[in-house]
Amino acid sequence: MKKKFYPMLILLLSSLCASAQLDSTIIFRPGPGLNDSTDQGGINGGKDVFVHETYTTTNYGNSSAIEVTPISNCNQTHMQSFMQFDLTTLPDTVDSVFVGFKHLDQINYCLSNCTADFYFAAITQEWYEQDVTYGNRPAFDTAFYGPITISFPDTAATREYNITNMYNLWKSGTIPNYGFALYSTTIGCNNACIMFYTYSSDDTAEANRPYLKVRFTADTTDPSSITSSFAEQTQVKLYPNPANNELNVSFNYPAGNEAEYIITDMLGQAVIKERIVTANPGKQNTKIDIQRLPQGMYCYKLQTARGTVTHKFLKQ
């Protein structure tokens, strides 16, 4: 009886397992990199820099901050910033994409230009993080996002800005991805003025660094889906399946990524969740105690900042 029942149960519930995992989110947060003009905005090599009007030949490519000010008509304090994310490993088809920044406090004093508008615009030429100065900053197009109005006092907060349309243009190749400029069109006297003032990818605290939040829809159990390359890299295997009291899991732990696994029931409710901590990336084997789970179908989801892989298994 069981031999007939379990295959039928797998057939009936497999689509439910897949549909429970359709919505996924990637947080793509580049780190400091080498700061030698080779960083291209990948996960281990952030690419961002600000420039200052007073210091026309100074490069700030390894600064821990991104700074943008209004255009000053009384002194040389104008600043702009430039940023690029390497989108190569990110999905082609997305629901939404937000760029996130952790802004710094501006609460002590402001004497003029205490409200300003800021914009994002696509950069139109190649540039290198350690070469950019105010005197040779890259050209950019008209704004694709803004205005972002910031007024004094401005309390530190993480804010996200929807850049889905530009992301799609970059991914499709309609516009070359040279990143985007952050600038202001507000004109006035900059005297302790308000700024677009955030942490950069070179900050020592990972949680402070800029990121992309990519939301997409895909069947992660389908090898032809957009997460298939990640699935091939991790090579997750569950055995035995069906399982009784213990589920064995083998996978390739991705270098430079924190990971966790979540087991959900067919209603999508998490029944087991655990962060995976290991100092050594590569092949891993784990055992999960499932003896307290009721009989039925479950979904095992391994997720990291680079992607998610989902598999189904049956608890006897």
CA distances to 37, 59, 161, 178, 247 from 132, in Å: 10, 6, 25, 13, 53
Q: Is the pTM of this model over 0.85?
A: no
Predicted pLDDT of residue 230: 64
Contact 162, 215 (CB under 8 A): no
Residues with Cβ within 8 Å of 277's Cβ and at least 6 positions away in sequence, in order, are: 258
Contact 118, 183 (CB under 8 A): yes
Question: For residue 257, what pLDDT band results from cuts at 50, 70 and 90?
Answer: low
Q: What is the pLDDT of residues 226-237, one digit of tens each?
A: 345 666 677 888
Domains and CATH numbers, the chain: 2-22+220-315 (2.60.40.1930), 26-216 (2.60.120)
Q: Give ∠ CA 118-91-181 in degrees, rounded to 5.
A: 20
Q: What is the pLDDT of residues 74-112, one digit of tens each?
A: 999 999 999 999 998 788 888 999 999 999 999 999 999
